[in-house]
Amino acid sequence: MKKLFTLLVIAFLSVSVQARDTESKVCIEGQGCGDLHDLKLACTDPGHYNHQNPPTSIQIHCKMFEMGWRMGKPGTMSFPRLRVLTTSVSTNKGGVGMGSIDFNFPTTSSTFPCPNFNQTSSHAEFSFNVTCDEIMDMDNTIDYCNDNMLALVEADESLMVTVPTGKTHNSCGGGGHGQH
Amino acid sequence: MRKFNLLFLILLASTSVFASNDYPHAYGEYVEINYDDKHAPVRPVGSGHEAVTERYGKLIVTEGDFTAESDNKPWSSWWYPRYEKTLFEDKGRNDLSTLSKYDRFARKSGQRRSNARNYEEQNLYTERAVDWAGLCDAWALASIMAEEPVRSVRKKGITFTVKDLKALVIKTYSKTNLKGHFGQRNNGAWDDHYEDIYPDQFHKFFQVELFEKRKPFIIDYDAGMQVWNVPVFKVKTKITADPQRDNMVNVKTFIWYASPFVKDLNFVGIRPITKIYKYKLFGRWTRQGFEVSGGQWMKESRRDHPDFVMAKPDRIKRGSFNKELQADIVDKILKGSY
Q: pTM of the prediction?
A: 0.78
- Write out the DSSP string of B119-153: HIIIII--TT--TT-SSHHHHHHHHHHSPPP-S-E
Find the mean pLDDT for residues B162-187. Answer: 91
The model's confidence at residue B50, banded by pLDDT at 50, 70 and 90, is confident
Q: Residues 1 to 20 of A: which have CB under 8 A from any B CB?
A: 1-2
Q: Indicate whether B279 pLDDT > 90.
A: yes
pLDDT, position A99: 60
Enter the ipTM: 0.78
Domain identity same for B221 and B287: yes
Domain identity same for B213 and B67: yes
Find the mean pLDDT for residues B272-288. Answer: 95
Q: Residues 88 to 117 of A: which have CB under 8 A from any B CB?
A: none
Domain identity same for A163 and A135: yes
Domain identity same for B126 and B244: no
Domain identity same for B297 and B203: yes
Domain identity same for B299 and B256: yes
Apex B52 CA angle, B46 and B58, nearest 5: 100
Domain identity same for B110 and B138: yes
Position B329 in a domain: yes
Position B61 in a domain: yes
- Tens of pLDDT, residue by residue over B81-135, are 999 999 999 999 889 999 999 999 999 998 778 999 999 999 999 999 888 899 9
Domain identity same for B109 and B198: no
Position B206 in a domain: yes
Q: Indicate whether B169 pLDDT > 60.
A: yes
> Is cis: bond before B239, omega within 30 of 0?
no
Distance from B275 to chain A by nearest Cα, in Å?
A: 6
DSSP H helices in B46-108: 51-56, 98-108
Q: Which of A2, A125, A158 sits opposite B131 (nearest CB)?
A: A2
Domain extent for A90? 75-114
Find the mean pLDDT for residues B213-240. Answer: 96
CB contact under 8 A, A56 and B224: yes
Domain identity same for B212 and B307: yes
pLDDT in tens, chain A (180 residues): 544 443 333 333 322 233 555 566 666 666 666 678 888 888 998 888 777 888 877 888 899 888 888 888 888 888 877 777 777 777 776 555 556 666 666 677 888 888 888 999 888 999 998 889 999 998 888 888 888 888 888 889 899 988 888 888 888 765 444 444
- Tens of pLDDT, residue by residue over B195-207, are 889 999 999 999 9
Which residues, 6+ apart, have CB-to-CB distance to B317 below 8 Å? Answer: B176, B177
Do you know the residue count of chain B?
338
Domain identity same for B201 and B226: yes
The total of structural domains in chain B comes to 2
Give the integer Cα–Cα distance in Å for B167 and B289: 46
A29 inside 8 A of chain B by CB: yes
Specify whether the backbone of A50 is left (phi greater than 0), alpha (psi in -120 to 50) or beta: left
Position A11 in a domain: no
The model's confidence at residue B47, banded by pLDDT at 50, 70 and 90, is low
Domain identity same for B131 and B169: yes
Position B93 in a domain: no
DSSP H helices in chain A: 36-44, 132-137, 141-145, 151-155
**B152, B124, B132, B227: which is closest to B183 by C-alpha?**
B227
Position A180 in a domain: no
Give the integer Cα–Cα distance in Å for B334 and B295: 45
Position B21 in a domain: no
The total of structural domains in chain A comes to 2
Domain identity same for A103 and A46: no
Position B194 in a domain: yes
Domain extent for B152? 98-177+322-334
Domain identity same for A83 and A160: no
Position B228 in a domain: yes
Domain identity same for B194 and B285: yes
